[in-house]
């Protein structure tokens, strides 16, 4: 019984006819924009995470320099 289902599934997947559908360039442009937007967002998140400790160090050095001047 199990083999009959497998053979039937295999047969049906091989017999399928192509859809003959046209996907124009208008469908690809939003996909490209979404992918670019995702990677830009990912890059900005990584830069923000890496820059956070550096910003704190710079801020502490400025405060120390101001205290030394007074």
DSSP 61: H
Res 68: pLDDT? 79
Which carries the bigger pLDDT value, residue 70 or residue 39? 39
Instruction: Please name the helix (run of DSSP H) or strand (run of DSSP E) that holds residue 63, with its range, or none.
Output: helix 25-69
Per-residue pLDDT tens for 1-36?
778 888 888 888 888 777 777 777 787 888 889 999
3-state secondary structure 1-56: CHHHHHHHHHHHHHHCCCCCCCCCHHHHHHHHHHHHHHHHHHHHHHHHHHHHHHHH
Res 41: pLDDT? 98
Which carries the bigger pLDDT value, residue 53 or residue 38? 38
């Amino acid at each position: 019984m199990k083999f009959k289902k497998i053979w039937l599934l295999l047969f049906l997947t091989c017999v399928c006819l192509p859809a003959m559908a046209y996907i124009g360039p208008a469908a690809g442009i939003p996909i490209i924009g979404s992918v670019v937007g995702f990677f830009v967002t990912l890059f900005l998140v990584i830069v923000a995470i890496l820059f956070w400790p550096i910003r704190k160090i710079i801020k502490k050095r400025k405060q120390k320099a101001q205290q030394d001047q007074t």
